[in-house]
Each structure stands twice: as structure tokens, then as C-alpha cells.
Amino acid sequence: MKNNLPRPGSTKLKQLTAYSLETQTEAAIDLLKRLIATPSLSREEDRTAQLIEQFFRQRSIPYKRTKNNVWTHNRFFDPAKPTLLLNSHHDTVKPNASWTLDPFQPIEREGKLYGLGSNDAGGCLVSLIGTFCHFFDKKDLAYNIVMAATAEEEISGREGLELILPELPPIDFAIVGEPTQMHLAVAEKGLLVLDCTAKGKSGHAARDEGDNAIYYAIKDIEWLTSNPFPKVSPTLGPIKLSVTIINAGSQHNVVPDTCTFTVDVRATEQYTLEEIIETIRKNIRSTVQPRSIRLKPSSIPLDHPIVQAGIALKRETYGSPTTSDQALLDCPSLKCGPGHSERSHTADEFIYLREIEEGIELYIRMLEQIL
């Protein structure tokens, strides 16, 4: 663990020069190019963490690093004030085989910046960092600001945001940077993965013997896909269940005694994850084992000041079906960032350069209304 973060209220910090939006954008794009050029697959983000450390050091911004997570707070941190968290991740998925460009070479072309992680979520991360730098040295803010660049988001790992939350001050609300075209994802579905096992009895397929586990699994899957949970979220819609993996049998002439299947559940705030598990267990024969109950649904009230600030800037509100590090937070949180979700995890991923400038500007204008 590396820590050069001073105690809140320390006066031993150098003055940060005020930067224009243009300068902040140039610095953010330069940082994004260096992040793209530095492979940072999940659990392998040490080198991009070093780049982020270097960025803060060059601006005389003290920071703290825990494993591959780097975080800092505004100069005039006041423990008596509420705290806002700005968060995005610097890990990426693996590049798929369809890339026609070098995924680790930042390429500018026709106003776009290509490269792995450019859209998800490098553009968001550097825009939030630029926004943090804008407010870092300002006095008399209504909120403290914590900026956290975190790891392992793409694999929902335990050594990313979840690892450092106990080290952070209490968070009153958060902005999580993910590509939303700077619109306001005011709710996000949680993720529940269930491993289910149907049990039968083996026998010879040529004779009337055995108890076929596949048939029990089929009946359970039929219940899962034809009995929707009745409560529907006004922003996220219904809970969505999808059977995504099924395995059974050893050879053609043996009745299988075991059939396993996996269910992907996208949960809403209408039910706790525990309630969903219990309901399923009561209605199917198979055993049900959740892999985790960490990734909870998340939301922020429409009347929250940061949401109202975004609406005043003509940002639209919606519910997001995809999961992010919001799921690990116990405070109100807003998902918002430059880029487009449909470009994430695609070959020849890119972000428009103008989106980064717009992202920094809109983040700043939203926060100015509450800070």
C-alpha cells in the first residue's frame, strides 16, 4: 500500500494552477492515449495505476494507492461536510478477435480516438479526473470530493472499488463514470448468477429405467421463463431471467442423473437479491446456489440535486440494464459519462474526442450547481 495523502485539512499542499476547459481536455486526452497504450486487463492494471499516480504527482495532488486502486480528495477536505465520490475504472476486457486495429495503439482518425478501453471506461475516467482537477483547489465547496480510479470492474472483482470503500470517508452520493452519452442513468439493475442442479437417477436408455434429470431441469426452466416476478420497476422494468448454460449426460445410452444450468438474473430495486433467491427456491425442484449477492440494484431519487442539475442541462433520465461498480455502493449513485454503451467491448472501440470535452464541461456544470 502506498500513501502520500495528507490528513484532512493539511496546509502542506502546493497550489494547483487553475486550468481552462481546453487545457483540462488536452490533459485528459493525453492521459487517455497513455492509458490505451498500456495494457490493463482486469487484475493486470498495475502499469495504468502508475500512470494515474504520475498524473496526480505532476499536478501536486496527493493521492493514495491500494493495490491497483488510486484515490485522492480535494485540497480543502472538511470532515464536517458531506462527501461526493467520483469513480470510474481503468481495467479493460480482453480484445476480441475481430479487431482490425492494434487495440493498444491510440489512433486519432476523423475526430475519433480508437483503442481498447477508450469508450469503456477510459473516456469517463479521464473526464472525471479533469473535473476533479477543476475543483481540487477551490475553497468553500458544499461537498468534499473524492476521486477514485479503480480496478477489476470488468470482472466484478473484490480488489477494486469494494477493496477501498472502507478506507474512504463516508460517501453521501456518487457519480460513477460509464458511457451514457452524458445522460443520467438514475437506476441500474443488479446481477445475480444462480447455479442450479437438478437430480434424478441414472439408468440404461434402452430400458424403462432411471429418472432423467434433464426432464426435471426442463420443468424448472419452464417455470423460470413463464412466471415473471409481479412487481415492475418504474425505471428498470421487470426482473429479467435468462438461462445461459446447461450441462448433462455422459453418453448417448445413459439416462443422466444430474443436470446443471446457470441462470442470469437482472434484478431491480423492487426485490432484494435474497427475496429473489427464496422465491425461486420455493418454486423449482433443483437446488439453487447463488455465486454472489454483492451486485445489488442501485438508484438515485429523481429529486436529488445532482439529477435535477443534469435535467436542467437537458440531460435525459433512464434506467440502465447493465451492471457497474454502482452495485457495490450503499449510497445514492448516478451513472453518467461520455461515450456510448453500444461501443463497449466491441472491435475497434473508439470515443469521439469532442465527447471528452463535452463530458468535462457537463460534469463541471452539473457539479457547480450543487458545490
Q: Which of 358, 339, 351, 343 is nearest to 185 (CA)?
A: 339
Give the H or E element holding residue 365: helix 353-368
- Written as one letter, the residue type at 83 is T
Whether pLDDT at 17 is above 80 = no
Query: How far apart (Å, rounded) are the C-alpha atoms in residues 56 and 349?
Result: 27
Whether pLDDT at 258 is above 70 = yes
Cell 461536510, residue? 81
Whether pLDDT at 9 is above 50 = no
Whether pLDDT at 34 is above 60 = yes
For 307-353, the pLDDT digits (tens) are 999 999 999 999 998 889 999 999 999 999 999 999 999 999 999 99
For 189-241, the pLDDT digits (tens) are 999 999 999 999 999 999 888 999 999 999 999 999 998 899 999 999 999 99
Average pLDDT over residues 282-307: 96
Helix, strand, coil share (%) of the chain residues, nearest 5? 30, 25, 45
Higher-confidence residue of 21 and 60: namely 60
Note the pLDDT of residue 228: 87
Cell 412466471, residue? 227
HEC string for 245-295: EEEECCCCCEECCEEEEEEEEEECCCCCHHHHHHHHHHHCCCEEEECCCCC
Whether pLDDT at 16 is above 60 = no
Query: How far apart (Å, rounded) are the C-alpha atoms in residues 159 and 43?
Result: 8
Considering the segment(s) 21-188+297-368 as one domain, its CATH architecture is 3-Layer(aba) Sandwich (3.40)
**β-bridge pairing 190-199 and 287-290:** antiparallel
Q: Which fold has domain 190-290?
A: Alpha-Beta Plaits (3.30.70)
Q: Which of 356, 350, 366 is nearest to 130 (CA)?
A: 356
- The lowest-confidence range among 8-22, 126-140, 233-247, 336-350 is 8-22
Note the pLDDT of residue 20: 81
Average pLDDT over residues 255-277: 96
Contact 265, 241 (CB under 8 A): yes
Whether pLDDT at 71 is above 50 = yes
Note the pLDDT of residue 6: 40
Q: For the chain, what percent of residues have pLDDT higher than 90?
A: 91
CA-to-CA dists, residue 125 to 118, 129, 205, 289, 293, angstroms: 10, 6, 57, 35, 27
CATH 3.40.630.10 range(s) for the chain read 21-188+297-368
For 231-243, the pLDDT digits (tens) are 999 999 999 999 9
Higher-confidence residue of 18 and 179: namely 179
In whole numbers, what is the pLDDT of the chain averaged over residues? 93
Average pLDDT over residues 150-159: 96
Q: Which of 361, 359, 238, 235 is nearest to 300 (CA)?
A: 235
Collect all residues with Cβ–Cβ distance below 8 Å to 277 and sequence separation of at least 6: 192, 194, 288, 290, 293
Note the pLDDT of residue 21: 86
CATH 3.30.70.360 range(s) for the chain read 190-290
Whether pLDDT at 8 is above 80 = no
If pLDDT is split at 50, 70 and 90, which confidence band does 19 have?
low
Q: What is the pTM of this model?
A: 0.87
Could you tell me how far CA 251 lies from the centroid of its own chain?
42
